[in-house]
Amino acid sequence: MGKKSIDHPKHYNFGKVEVIDYIEDQGMLEDFCIGNVIKYISRYKYKEKPLEDLKKASWYLTHLINYMSKKKE
């Protein structure tokens, strides 16, 4: 599974706006990212490809950190 399948999977990009951008626009990004980090960290041990879920958790945490950094400026 490549980096693009974790960063911007095709099934998240139908239409004109990526789902995470819509979630951010609606003011729900922080909780959404935290929930996904918890989800992926909690289940990675039970997956066929545990590293994939850890990378997804890392992506959401990094996304939240970048969002919070921009918000602070």
pLDDT digits (tens, 9 = 90+) for 6-50: 666 666 666 778 889 999 999 999 999 999 999 999 999 999 999
Q: Across the chain, where does the E strand assignment appear? A: none
pLDDT given for residue 41 in this prediction: 98
Record the pTM: 0.78
Q: Assess contact for 54 and 60: CB atoms under 8 A.
A: no
Q: Give the Cα separation of 69 and 21 in Å (integer).
A: 17
Give the residue numbers spanning the domain of 28.
3-8+17-72
Number of domains, the chain:
1
